[in-house]
Amino acid sequence: MIATTTLILQTAGNGDVLDITPRVVAAVFHSGVKDGLVTIFVTGSTAGLTTGEFEPGLVADLKAAFQRLAPQGLEYQHNRLQGDDNGHAHINASLLGPSLVVPLARGKLLLGQWQQLLLVDFDVRPRQRQVVVQVLGE
């Protein structure tokens, strides 16, 4: 069985980090699938997904790490060619990646005790994001 749900999320942009775990858990529950795999995918090229402990210290550290990797304010060809100012957002999203796969057993995501599913929006403005949750199994 395959069940697909699209989550609509509002972000603040500029490295905003959202804990999407409860929304993904709800999508899995509504799918009726008990054992299998859950793929989570963010559409768009300036946001990414990861796992981590969703607490203020880690969120600040994550934002700072990405700012060091591809800082806003540098000269990016994307900005010059597209008349845009979010070249850093594209780079950071590419480094993080757009998807995760999480095992599912007995109706539960097999996440660690302090592990949440995190959406990071690197764009320079608030955005409405779509996150596709696809549950495959029985």
* pLDDT tens-digit series, residues 10-21: 999 999 999 999
The enclosing domain of 125 has a CATH number of 2.60.120.460
Question: What is the Cα–Cα distance from 61 to 56, expressed in whole angstroms?
Answer: 9
Please give the model's pTM, rounded to 2 decimal places: 0.95
Report the number of distinct structural domains present in the chain. 1
Question: 37 is in which domain, residue-wise?
Answer: 2-137
94, 101, 99: which is closest to 122 by C-alpha? Answer: 94
Q: Tell me the two tokens of residue 22.
A: 């409860």
* pLDDT tens-digit series, residues 71-102: 998 899 998 888 888 999 999 999 999 999 99
Question: What is the Cα–Cα distance from 67 to 90, expressed in whole angstroms?
Answer: 12
Question: What is the Cα–Cα distance from 96 to 94, expressed in whole angstroms?
Answer: 6
